[in-house]
A and B are shown apart, each in its own frame.
Chain A
Amino acid sequence: MNIKSISLENVLPKVFLEDGERTSGTASDIWNTSMRFEAGKCYCINAASGTGKTSLCSFLMGVRTDYTGRISFDTTDIATLGINDWCELRRTSLAYLPQELDIFDELTALDNVLLKNRLTDFHTEGEIRSMFEALEIDNRISRPAGKLSVGQKQRVALIRALCQPFSFILLDEPVSHLDARNNELCANMVTDAAAAQQAGVIFTSVGNPLTVNVPFISLAL
């Protein structure tokens, strides 16, 4: 399924309503307003902690539904999607690198990636190995993921997120534990993959943004 745009209309996490915050929505480009992410463009969401960036990713990935307003993929209200629709979208349209990474510690770095690739059959094992090389973690490829550092896990999770076709890729603080050099390697890999599929890139940052070498739209939460 190809998603051209993601629209948000007056979306606000319910938890904000309960806390009585953000009801005016004046300071946000996303909450409680009308906005749209478009495929082929790159968005950087700058946010302080606790402003709801992970909530936004969870809403867009169908993990949480505790928001008011309406989110649509093209014209489809995502509140109408069923579990199987979401599973399909997660394999074919929406790539996601969660902040917690969701790396399985008991599997090797490679198996973590193959676990995803088996579902999509998007890359060959050779291509995956060269992605490990490109991010300079090929020497960790057979190691149990539990023994990797957070920065190494972030890169494994990024490779895994790229093992599927997508219309949008959501990256929740993808390089928070990476130095400038590795940040750039990751950024290039993401933008290349997105460009190849005319896909949209949405990444969040609390101060260490992905250093993409393409024009991007900066949004405040």
Chain B
Amino acid sequence: MIWKLLRRNISIWQIAGYAAATFIGLSIVLIALQFYRDVSAGLHNDDNDAGGLGLISKRNIVISKPVGLKSSLSGTAPSFSDGEIADLARQEWSGAVMPFQAADFKVWAGVDFGGRGMSTALFFESVPDSIVDVDPELWKFNPSAPEIPIIISKDYLTLYNFGFASSGNMPMLSEGMIGSVPLTITISGAGNTTTLPGRIVGFSSWLNTVAVPQAFMDWAHERFGEPSVAQPSRLVIEVTDPANPEIDEYLSRHDYEVAGPDNDLGRLSFFLTLLTTVIAGIGALITLLSLGILVLSLYLLIQKNHKSISGLLLLGYKPGAIAGRYMRLVISVNASVLLFASIVVPVVQSLWAPALTSLSMTAASVWPTICAGAAIMVVISTLNSLTIRRLVHGCFRA
């Protein structure tokens, strides 16, 4: 009965306009949020190394200094000082900073292709085992039954296959084949020479070296190395936040060179964030404008129904009971808006999901996005309720 009085002057078109505008605004905000979450989940995902065998987790970058005239003449690679390493480690996006350890002994590698032998001078570097993403069973060195596991750059294989092999009438090799070819490694230094079997256990698309396990390097150093304290010329940095745009800025400021594609990640992430912020901002603006429309409509409605409301208050109806009717209406509209927006988000997500899959990225769950939408609508409903309460209380006094 009281609703019969209060619903008078409610404009269905105003309510529908508010619902439509809020729905559009909220949907844009939530879709932008979902898109950001989907794509940034992909960008931050360790399993998505764009190439190679995923040997080194994407969270690590390899940096070096550019080789200039001075280092060319002196014959020593530009190295990192202790101070520079400490500064790198202090950056908020960096975790552990680990040096490459170069072998200070001579290495020859030989291979036997059914009687046709080939051998080449080689070098070894070791990187910390923790960042090498191969089966630990393969990546170990046992001095009592020595066999050297090796990771080489994928580029070396490409060079061989399309350079040497095609022009030199040699067989082309696949990654699988190489893994099964036994190598003969000869190392010499400090007056000693030995020959060990070796095996290529993996290829890296961007770890630009010939890497061996730390255990082997330590073992070999002891026997063939010269005692020295050379500064490292290449560093592996464990990046805790690969999407941080500061990485790029820091590295270019210090004129460091980065191996691998990771230095694009920060810039990409920056543009992604910018884009989604702009879109979400537009959605938020639409939502805010629709909120403004609703406040005006409510103001008008309660102005028009002022006589009924003050009449009811004079009979002893509480302002809360009257405001509650309007709140119920607005909250049910808001709930429907949220419901429809929650349906739209997964539908729209399914439009870009195939594209994500083709980039071997997995879409993020929509639930956190819907929860964010619910939180937004709770805030909006609270604001609406406070407005209604204030307006109805305003009818109490003449």
Could you tell me which A residues sit within 8 Å of B by CB distance? 58, 61, 63-65, 83-84, 86-88, 90-91, 96, 98, 102, 104, 106-107, 111, 114-116, 118-120, 160, 164
Most buried by A among B310, B314, B393, B398: B314
26 example contacts (A-B, Cβ-Cβ < 8 A) are as follows: A58-B398, A63-B310, A63-B397, A64-B398, A65-B397, A83-B318, A83-B393, A83-B396, A84-B318, A87-B318, A88-B316, A90-B313, A90-B316, A96-B314, A104-B311, A106-B4, A107-B1, A107-B4, A107-B5, A115-B1, A115-B312, A116-B316, A119-B316, A119-B317, A160-B315, A164-B316
On whether A61 and B5 interact (CB within 8 A), knowing A83-B393, A104-B308, the answer reads: no
What 11 additional pairs, Cβ within 8 angstroms, besides A90-B313, A102-B307, A104-B5?
A63-B314, A86-B396, A102-B311, A104-B308, A104-B311, A106-B5, A114-B1, A115-B1, A118-B1, A119-B316, A160-B315
Whether, in the assembled complex, B2 has its beta carbon less than 8 Å from a beta carbon of chain A, the answer is yes
Say yes or no: B398 contacts A106, CB within 8 Å: no
Whether, in the assembled complex, B328 has its beta carbon less than 8 Å from a beta carbon of chain A, the answer is no
Interface size on B, residues (CB 8 A): 21
Nearest B residue to A84, CB-CB:
B318
Cβ distance B311 to chain A, nearest Cβ, rounded Å? 4
Enumerate chain A residues within 8 angstroms of B312, measured Cβ to Cβ.
115
Enumerate chain A residues within 8 angstroms of B1, measured Cβ to Cβ.
107, 111, 114-115, 118
On whether A98 and B319 interact (CB within 8 A), knowing A65-B397, A106-B5, the answer reads: no
Enumerate chain B residues within 8 angstroms of A98, measured Cβ to Cβ.
314
Cβ distance B374 to chain A, nearest Cβ, rounded Å? 32
CA distance A91 to B5 in the complex (A): 19
Say yes or no: B398 contacts A120, CB within 8 Å: no
Enumerate chain A residues within 8 angstroms of B310, measured Cβ to Cβ.
63, 102
On whether A91 and B8 interact (CB within 8 A), knowing A58-B398, A63-B398, the answer reads: no
CA distance A164 to B316 in the complex (A): 10
On whether A91 and B316 interact (CB within 8 A), knowing A65-B397, A115-B1, the answer reads: yes
Cβ distance A60 to chain B, nearest Cβ, rounded Å? 12
Cβ distance B386 to chain A, nearest Cβ, rounded Å? 16
Enumerate chain B residues within 8 angstroms of A164, measured Cβ to Cβ.
316
Say yes or no: B397 contacts A90, CB within 8 Å: no
Say yes or no: B311 contacts A61, CB within 8 Å: no
Nearest B residue to A89, CB-CB:
B316
Could you tell me which B residues sit within 8 Å of A by CB distance? 1-2, 4-5, 8, 307-308, 310-319, 393, 396-398
Count: A-B pairs, CB below 8 Å: 58
CA distance A5 to B341 in the complex (A): 59
Nearest B residue to A88, CB-CB:
B316
Say yes or no: A90 contacts B2, CB within 8 Å: no
Say yes or no: B397 contacts A64, CB within 8 Å: yes
CA distance A155 to B397 in the complex (A): 26
The 7 closest A-B pairs by CB, nearest first: A91-B316, A90-B316, A102-B311, A87-B318, A63-B398, A116-B315, A64-B398
On whether A90 and B5 interact (CB within 8 A), knowing A64-B397, A83-B396, the answer reads: no
Enumerate chain A residues within 8 angstroms of B8, measured Cβ to Cβ.
106
Say yes or no: A90 contacts B315, CB within 8 Å: yes
Say yes or no: B397 contacts A115, CB within 8 Å: no
CA distance A63 to B397 in the complex (A): 5
Enumerate chain A residues within 8 angstroms of B311, measured Cβ to Cβ.
102, 104
CA distance A90 to B308 in the complex (A): 16
CA distance A65 to B398 in the complex (A): 9
CA distance A88 to B398 in the complex (A): 18
CA distance A104 to B8 in the complex (A): 12
Enumerate chain A residues within 8 angstroms of B318, measured Cβ to Cβ.
83-84, 87
CA distance A120 to B317 in the complex (A): 10
Nearest B residue to A55, CB-CB:
B398
Enumerate chain A residues within 8 angstroms of B319, measured Cβ to Cβ.
83, 87
Enumerate chain B residues within 8 angstroms of A90, measured Cβ to Cβ.
313-316
Say yes or no: B314 contacts A61, CB within 8 Å: yes
Enumerate chain B residues within 8 angstroms of A96, measured Cβ to Cβ.
314
Cβ distance A155 to chain B, nearest Cβ, rounded Å? 17
Cβ distance A122 to chain B, nearest Cβ, rounded Å? 11
Nearest B residue to A102, CB-CB:
B311
CA distance A61 to B315 in the complex (A): 10
CA distance A198 to B183 in the complex (A): 116
On whether A87 and B4 interact (CB within 8 A), knowing A58-B398, A65-B397, A104-B308, the answer reads: no
CA distance A64 to B1 in the complex (A): 27
Cβ distance B187 to chain A, nearest Cβ, rounded Å? 92
Cβ distance A52 to chain B, nearest Cβ, rounded Å? 14
Enumerate chain B residues within 8 angstroms of A102, measured Cβ to Cβ.
307, 310-311, 314-315
Cβ distance B328 to chain A, nearest Cβ, rounded Å? 18
